[in-house]
Amino acid sequence: MDKVKYFFQQSWLLIVASFFFGLLIAVANAAWQDNILQNEENKFNDLVREMIPDANASEIVLEDVEVESRKGKKKLTSVRKVVSAEGRRIGWAFMCEGSGFADKIRLVIAADSEFEKFFGFKVLSSYETPGFGSKIAEDDPESNEDLVDEFKDAPVGEFVLVKTGRRREDESQPNDGLIIAISGATVSSDAVVKIFNAYADEVKDKLREKGHIGNGE
C-alpha cells in the first residue's frame, strides 16, 4: 500500500498533465476534422486530374467496398466515377492503403472507364525513407527507376514484383504485369504492388456486380 501511495504522490502531476493534453488534442482534432477532410478531398481531386487530364469532377458511386489486406484485416474504400466537362464517364478512382517499410502508404489509383487499364497511381501520403522508399512517389520521365510509370496503361490484373528486368522505354510498349522494384526500396515497391493486387480485383468485381461496368455504357 505504501508503494502505491508513494507512486501516486510522485506521479500525480504527470497523470493529470497527460489527461489534460490528451483532452486538448482530442478537442483540437474534432475542431479541425472538417478542414482535414476537405484538404484530403482537394488533394484527392488534384491527384486524379494529374492522372486523368480530362477529369472535371468525381462522384462516389460505391461506398464501403470491403477489401481484405495481406494480413487478413478488412479495409474499406469508396469508389468514385470520374467524368469529363461534358459529363461523360472517363474513369474510376479510389483511395487505398497498405503497410510500407516505415508506416502506412496511402495511394490514389485511377483506371479507365471500363476498369480494364490503369491510368496509374499517385501517393496521397507516405513516410518512407527519403531518397529510397520515397522514390515510389516520383514521376520523372527522365528517371530510369520510375515506379509510377510502371503502372501506366497496365492491364487490370495480378502484378508481380521483380528486382531486375528491362523497363518499358515508352507507354506504347505493352505492360506484361511485371513491376521492376526501385533499387534500395524493394520493400516500398513491394508494398505498392500488394496494394494494387489487394484492391483492384475487389473494386472491379463490385463495379461489375452493381452494373457500373460491363453494361455497354
Q: Which residues pair with 55 in a beta bridge?
A: none
Residue 105 belongs to a domain = yes
| Number of compact structural domains in the chain | 1
- Read off the C-alpha cell for 169: 522505354
Residue 24 belongs to a domain = no
**Segments of the chain with pLDDT less than 50:** none
Q: Residue 119's pLDDT is what?
A: 94
Q: Residue 73's pLDDT is what?
A: 75
Q: Residue 38's pLDDT is what?
A: 61
DSSP, collapsed to helix, strand or coil, labels residue 168 as coil
Residue 42 belongs to a domain = no
Residue 37 belongs to a domain = no
Q: How many helices (H) and strands (E) does the chain have?
A: 3, 7
Residue 41 belongs to a domain = no
In the block, residue with C-alpha cell 515497391: 189
Residue 121 belongs to a domain = yes
- Residues 14-45, buried b or exposed e (16+ Cβ, 10 A)? eeeeeeeeeeeeeeeeeeeeeeeeeeeeeebb
Contact, 93 vs 83, CB < 8 A?
no
Give residue 93's domain range: 52-209
Residue 69 belongs to a domain = yes
Q: Angle at the Cα of 95 (from 212 to 190), degrees rounded to 5?
A: 115
Q: How many CB atoms lie within 10 A of CB 168?
A: 18
Contact, 73 vs 62, CB < 8 A?
no
Helix, strand, coil in percent for the chain, rounding step 5? 40, 25, 35
Q: Residue 204's pLDDT is what?
A: 95
Residue 215 belongs to a domain = no
- Residues 78-116, buried b or exposed e (16+ Cβ, 10 A)? ebbbbbeeeeebbbbbbbbbbebbeeebbbbbbbbbbbe
The full DSSP string for 83-134 is E-TTS-EEEEEEEEEEE-SSSEEEEEEEE-TTSSBEEEEEEEE--PPTTTGG
> Which among 168, 169, 151, 170 is positioned nearest to 160, based on CA atoms?
151
Q: Residue 12's pLDDT is what?
A: 60
Q: Residue 121's pLDDT is what?
A: 94
Q: Residue 212's pLDDT is what?
A: 92
